[in-house]
């Protein structure tokens, strides 16, 4: 990375978007999927290629495959057909995309990203387009357009911010998802999406951690907790007959700062005496299939219900992860339900019925914990988080595909003293993406990630300067993986942590030894220890 | 270029209107009006049926507020509805007041800082345009129905409230003209909007402006013979076109542009008038986890089952002392 900060400039859009030429410059695109990963998932056209190659080695009938794929999806998805038809190009969505703001590339305006597909739709699937071609806004499908699609559909984090502002709710993420699905039909996919997906298919999780590794990792966490709290917590794995199956993103047990969130979950479950189990098979709640195709999403998601059924649990609890919850909330029940072998979720501690999850039978950890706090079941010492001045980043999916806004805030307010919101139009449903979601979080794409993450970071910097914020709390594994890099670059001095890390710090456990450090091993200030 | 073509297209329609009038007289206008209306009706229905025929496989509302979860957390009933009445409310706000457009802001960069400022003009102009057009359309009913419905009379009276000039000056005319002018200027002047604008965008606006201009001039300048117009319109509506006294070129232009625009609707983005009702990110309740949504084409997929997984990792599972399904089976048979 250059030492100097990236120049983010407001440029007047120039040129004509109908020209498909793109340049695969280092730092702004993701590498192709390795053939072995494509093969592992039985997807079409495994081969060695890279986006910057002149020849993409497409199958000979690629054009037919794409057009037939489009036709099929136009008939299967009302959203797709409608969004192809009704955009009035009012431009309301244009500057709502963090990639447009950060890159200044006019083709990153959501409306233009969609037009890349729409123009081909018009040319082949509408009467005026077939007759008048370019005059009716049509474009001939060429190999250059395939490259352009690849470039721009993997430069959208499917964050849905544009959809909030569109008068018709046109969701460019939906178009991107279909676009990627089409590209997958001819073998144009990225390794950062397909490798985790292939791992997940085989081992159960994105990181490819095998069952013994899974267990080691959790045992290690238990050891660490014993050191911090003096309490030995249980690590039940694949335990039949548990009441609740707990599913989390794999980064929680293998990456930092996710790991401290895992410690928080484990402390909480021990303290309330939850009858639960982890699963080494359903060892991933996240779902990189979402970033590839609806079918792959369904294939990877199937294990959650399958495992719940096998273990005979009553219901499922899910950890902190953004895109995981997009799938669990909006797709799982439809794809792999009905979950009639489970029971309607009831908190065994408070007796609260989670009415909002009575069909899917899966509850978000923040809903679960907020209920515990509200019912007075937890003793929290917020001063143990006094070294943090906290702000909260709404992750795109929980915000715009669920509306999980207050629960995490409620937990934070109870677990720490100093909480500051970022400006109104950058949080809640208007939250800015981390710039690395939807499978773009790889290092070869770093420049584009930093550009796309600029609006988010800019708002963080604002509260850093105004309120001295030094911790960005969030409930998303991709955020936790990628925001540290982003903030180090744009707002150095602000760290990233999970909501249940803060909870774990504050949680007063029965029989614990006096705490001298927080979950990160940092010493607690003297007054706190003695208080 | 797109602008030039659009001007050309609208101009051509106008010339054709005048020429048609000279050659075919008012019979020509009747033919054009019927044809335009027929294409509109058939095309509009076709498109809506085509949308409606496509299933909604997943429930994917864009949520713009707090979900309904725990009883003590106040949910956003309209921004993130979980009930049908909430959805109706949300759709009502979208369709009648353009709720989402009202959120609009403008991103600007000032010394490496991103500033998001209020930007309500687009919302205001869009709302002004659509509502004034609705008022004008309703007012036009007095030309097609006899006796004129009381509602239409009342509306015209309110609209002409200021009673300036003769005939009464209508507020809606003024609002429509200003809104259209703003929307067109915006397409020309805002570099972002100019970049995304296409033939269809300019054509629709220019045709509307042509319609408005010819209508205004008939009312305020050339003073068309309203009685004759009404006679003609009633005839059209009754499928009994009468041959009226000369209505003038302006009338021919007005009606022809309307007919052409109506016929153009089903082939263009103007279908948003129907589509807005069907948008799955807006018209579905966010009750995903409470009520199962069924995908009519859901199909079985290839997964990696637990049994296969256990087979793959049996030795490692054993070594790590993680319970196996096989063990359960033996234990069960031993019991
Ligand atoms: S806001 Fe909606 S209608 Fe307007 S340009 Fe964007 S996608 Fe099209
Ligand atoms: S979904 Fe997000 S990343 Fe994609 S176009 Fe819309 S605003 Fe941009």
Closest residue in B to A308 (Cα–Cα): B306
pLDDT at residue A15, as a whole number: 85
Note the pLDDT tens digit of each residue in A359-378: 999 999 999 999 999 999 99
Q: Is the CB of A159 within 6 Å of ligand 2?
A: yes
Return mean pLDDT, chain A: 95
Beta carbons of B155 and B138 less than 8 angstroms apart: yes
Is a pLDDT exceeding 70 seen at residue A195? yes
Quote the minimal CA–CA distance from B266 to chain A in Å.
10
Q: What is the pLDDT of residue A10?
A: 76
Task: State the pairing for strand pair A471-474/A495-498.
Answer: parallel
CB A310 within 8 A of CB A245: no
C-alpha span between B73 and B61 (Å, rounded): 20
For the Cβ of A161 lying below 6 angstroms from any atom of ligand 2, the answer is yes
Tallying the residues shown for chain B, one arrives at 335
pLDDT at B168: 78
Cross-chain CB nearest to B198 (options A137, A204, A403):
A137
Q: pLDDT grade, residue A238 (50/70/90)?
A: very high
Spans in chain B with pLDDT lower than 70: 166, 244-245, 327-335
- To test the pocket of ligand 1, the residue of A83, A95, A110, A113 to mutate (highest count of ligand atoms within 8 Å of its CB) is A110
Interface of B with A in 45-84 (CB under 8 A): 47, 50-52, 54-70, 72-76, 79-80, 82
A245, burial (CB in 10 Å: exposed 0-12, middle 13-18, buried 19+): buried
Exposure of A203 in the CB half-sphere (CA atoms within 13 A)? 18
Strands A244-247 and A276-277: parallel
On whether the CB atoms of residues A94 and A165 are closer than 8 A, the answer is no
The answer to whether A518 contacts chain B (CB < 8 Å) is no
Contacts of A196 (CB under 8 A, 6+ apart): A206, A207, A288
User: pLDDT value at position B224?
Assistant: 86
Going by pLDDT thresholds of 50, 70 and 90, the confidence category of residue A498 is very high
Please tell me the pTM assigned to this model. 0.95
Nearest CA residue ID for atom 4, ligand 2:
A156
Question: Helix A477-490 to helix A454-467 angle, to the nearest 10 degrees?
Answer: 70
Selection from A197, A395, A382 nearest residue A296 by Cα: A197
- Tokens representing A301 are 């998601």
Q: Residue A497 pairs with which residues in a beta bridge?
A: A473
User: Which region among A414-428, A470-484, B313-327 has the lowest average model confidence (pLDDT)?
Assistant: B313-327
Contact residues for A470 (Cβ-Cβ < 8 A; gap 6+): A387, A388, A389, A464, A493, A494, A495
What is the A86 CA–ligand 1 centroid distance (Å)? 9
Cross-strand partners of A353:
A346
What distance in Å separates the CA atoms of residue A24 and residue A112, rounded to the nearest whole number?
Answer: 19
**Amino acid B249: pLDDT:** 85
> Quick one: tokens of B186?
């915006």
DSSP secondary structure code for residue A522 in this structure: P
CA distance A131 to A395: 44
Among B63, B302, B313, beta carbon nearest to A401 = B63
Of A89, A215, A403, the CB nearest to B197: A89
B156 strand-pairing partners? none
Question: Which ligand has its closest atom nearest to the C-alpha of B276?
Answer: 1
Q: Where are the alpha helices (DSSP H) in chain B?
A: 2-53, 84-97, 99-102, 121-144, 150-159, 171-189, 191-196, 199-216, 226-237, 249-264, 272-275, 306-319, 325-334
Cβ atoms of A163 and A170 within 8 Å: the answer is yes
B chain contacts of residue A164, beta-carbon cutoff 8 Å: 62, 64, 100, 103
Domain range annotation of chain B: 2-301, 306-335
A3, pLDDT greater than 50: no
How far apart are the C-alpha atoms of A333 and A342, rounded to whole Å?
A: 12
For helices A191-203 and B306-319, give the axis angle rounded to 10 degrees. 70
Centre of ligand 2 to C-alpha A110, Å, is: 6
Section A236-264 average pLDDT: 96
Nearest Cβ partner of A359 from B98, B199, B290? B290
Distance, CA B274 to ligand 2 centroid (Å)?
25
Strand partners, A362: A316
Ligand 2 centroid to Cα of residue A259, in Å, is 29
Burial of A338 (0-12, 13-18, 19+ CB in 10 A): middle
- Atom nearest to A161 CA in ligand 2: 7
DSSP state of B270: G
For ligand 2, is residue A451 a contact (CB within 6 Å)?
Answer: no
A364, A318 contact by CB (below 8 A)? yes
> pLDDT-based confidence at A530, cuts 50/70/90?
very low
pLDDT > 80? residue A88: yes
Pairing of strands A495-498, A244-247: unpaired
φ/ψ of residue A241, rounded to 5:
85, 0
Q: Give the model's pLDDT for residue B330.
A: 61
CATH of region B2-301, choose from 3.90.420.10, 1.20.950.20, 1.10.10.60, 1.10.150.120: 1.20.950.20
Q: What is the pLDDT of residues A334-349, one digit of tens each?
A: 999 999 999 999 999 9
Q: What is the pLDDT of residues A7-63, one digit of tens each?
A: 777 778 888 999 999 999 999 999 999 999 999 999 999 999 999 999 999 999 999
User: How distant is the Cα of A15 from the closest Cα of chain B, in angstroms?
Assistant: 8
Enumerate the residues of chain B whose CB falls inside 8 A of the CB of residue A210: 313, 316
The nearest alpha carbon in chain A to B126 belongs to A90
- Cβ-in-10-Å burial (0-12, 13-18, 19+) of A496 comes to buried
- Best mutation target among A14, A110, A237, A356 (most B Cβ atoms within 10 Å) is A356
Residues A139-161 have a mean pLDDT of 97
Ligand 2: centre distance to CA A438 (Å): 10
Helix (H) / strand (E) element for A246: namely strand A244-247
For ligand 2, whether the C-beta of A173 sits within 6 Å is: yes
Q: Is B278 on the interface with A (CB under 8 A)?
A: yes
């Amino acid at each position: 990375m250059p030492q100097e900060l990236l120049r983010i400039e407001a440029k007047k859009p120039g040129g004509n978007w109908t020209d498909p030429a793109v340049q695969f410059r280092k730092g702004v695109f993701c590498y192709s999927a390795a053939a072995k990963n494509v093969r592992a998932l039985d997807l079409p056209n495994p081969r060695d290629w890279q986006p910057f190659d002149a020849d993409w080695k497409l199958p000979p009938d690629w054009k037919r495959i794409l057009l037939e794929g489009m036709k099929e999806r136009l008939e299967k998805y009302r959203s797709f057909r409608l969004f192809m038809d009704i955009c009035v190009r009012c431009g309301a969505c244009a500057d709502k995309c963090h990639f447009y703001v950060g890159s200044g590339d006019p083709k990153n305006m959501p409306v233009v990203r969609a037009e890349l597909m729409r123009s081909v739709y018009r040319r082949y699937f509408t009467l005026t387009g077939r007759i008048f071609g370019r005059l009716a806004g049509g474009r001939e499908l060429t190999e250059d357009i395939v490259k352009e699609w690849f470039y721009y559909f993997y430069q959208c984090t499917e964050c849905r911010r544009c959809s909030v502002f569109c008068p018709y709710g046109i969701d460019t993420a939906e178009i991107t998802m279909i676009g990627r699905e089409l590209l997958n039909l001819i073998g144009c996919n990225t390794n950062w999406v397909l490798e985790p997906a292939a791992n997940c298919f085989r081992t159960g999780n994105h990181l490819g951690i095998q069952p013994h590794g899974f267990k080691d990792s959790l045992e290690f966490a238990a050891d660490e907790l014993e050191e911090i709290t003096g309490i030995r917590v249980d690590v039940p794995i694949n335990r039949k007959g548990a009441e609740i199956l707990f599913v989390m993103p794999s980064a929680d047990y293998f990456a930092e700062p996710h790991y401290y969130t895992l410690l928080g979950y484990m402390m909480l479950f021990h303290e309330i005496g939850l009858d639960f189990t982890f699963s080494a098979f359903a060892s991933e709640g996240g779902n990189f299939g979402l970033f590839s195709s609806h079918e792959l999403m369904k294939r990877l998601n199937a294990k959650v219900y399958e495992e719940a059924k096998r273990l005979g649990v009553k219901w499922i609890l899910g950890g902190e992860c953004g895109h995981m919850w997009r799938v669990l909330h909006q797709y799982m029940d439809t794809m792999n339900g009905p979950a009639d072998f489970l029971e309607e979720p009831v908190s065994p501690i408070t007796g609260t019925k989670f009415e909002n999850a009575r069909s899917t039978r899966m509850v978000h950890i923040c809903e679960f914990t907020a209920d515990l706090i509200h019912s007075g079941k937890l003793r929290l010492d917020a001063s143990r988080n006094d070294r943090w001045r906290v702000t909260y980043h709404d992750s795109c999916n929980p915000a715009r595909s669920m509306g999980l806004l207050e629960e995490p805030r409620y937990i934070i307010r109870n677990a720490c003293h100093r909480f500051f919101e970022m400006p109104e139009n950058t949080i809640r449903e208007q939250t800015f993406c981390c710039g690395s979601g939807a499978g773009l979080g790889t290092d070869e794409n770093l420049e584009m990630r930093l550009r796309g993450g600029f609006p988010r970071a800019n708002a963080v910097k604002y509260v850093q300067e105004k309120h001295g914020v030094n911790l960005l709390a969030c409930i998303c594994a991709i955020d936790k993986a990628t925001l540290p890099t982003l903030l180090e670059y744009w707002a150095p001095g602000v760290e990233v942590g999970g909501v249940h890390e803060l909870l774990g710090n504050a949680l007063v456990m029965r029989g614990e030894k006096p705490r001298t450090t927080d979950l990160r091993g940092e010493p607690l200030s003297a007054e706190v220890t003695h208080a | 270029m797109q602008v030039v073509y659009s001007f050309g297209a609208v101009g051509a329609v106008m010339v054709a209107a005048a020429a048609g009038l000279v050659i075919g007289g008012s019979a020509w206008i009747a033919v054009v009006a019927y044809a335009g209306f027929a294409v509109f009706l058939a095309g509009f229905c076709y498109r809506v049926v085509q949308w409606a025929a496509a299933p909604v496989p997943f429930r994917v509302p864009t949520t713009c507020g707090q979900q309904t979860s725990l009883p003590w957390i106040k949910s956003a009933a309209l921004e993130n509805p979980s009930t049908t009445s909430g959805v109706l409310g949300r759709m009502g706000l979208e369709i009648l007041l353009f709720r989402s457009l009202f959120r609009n802001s403008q991103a600007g960069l000032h010394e490496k800082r991103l500033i998001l400022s209020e930007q309500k003009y687009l919302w205001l102009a869009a709302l002004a345009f659509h509502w004034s057009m609705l008022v004008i359309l309703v007012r036009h009913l007095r030309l097609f129905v006899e006796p004129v419905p009381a509602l239409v009379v009342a509306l015209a009276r309110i609209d002409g409230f200021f009673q300036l000039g003769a005939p009464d000056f209508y507020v809606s005319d003024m609002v429509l003209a200003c809104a259209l002018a703003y929307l067109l200027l915006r397409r020309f002047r805002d570099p972002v909007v100019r970049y995304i604008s296409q033939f269809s965008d300019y054509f629709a606006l220019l045709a509307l402006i042509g319609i408005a201009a010819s209508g205004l001039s008939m009312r305020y300048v050339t003073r068309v013979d309203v009685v004759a117009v009404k006679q003609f319109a009633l005839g059209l509506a009754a499928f009994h076109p009468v041959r009226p006294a000369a209505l003038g070129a302006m009338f021919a232009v007005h009606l022809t542009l309307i007919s052409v625009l109506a016929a153009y609707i089903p082939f263009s983005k103007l279908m948003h008038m129907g589509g807005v009702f069907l948008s799955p990110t807006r018209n579905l309740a966010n009750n995903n986890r409470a009520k199962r949504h069924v995908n009519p084409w859901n199909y079985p997929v290839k997964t990696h089952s637990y049994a296969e997984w256990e087979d793959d990792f049996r030795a490692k599972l054993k070594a790590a002392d993680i319970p196996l399904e096989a063990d359960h089976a033996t234990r069960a048979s031993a019991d």
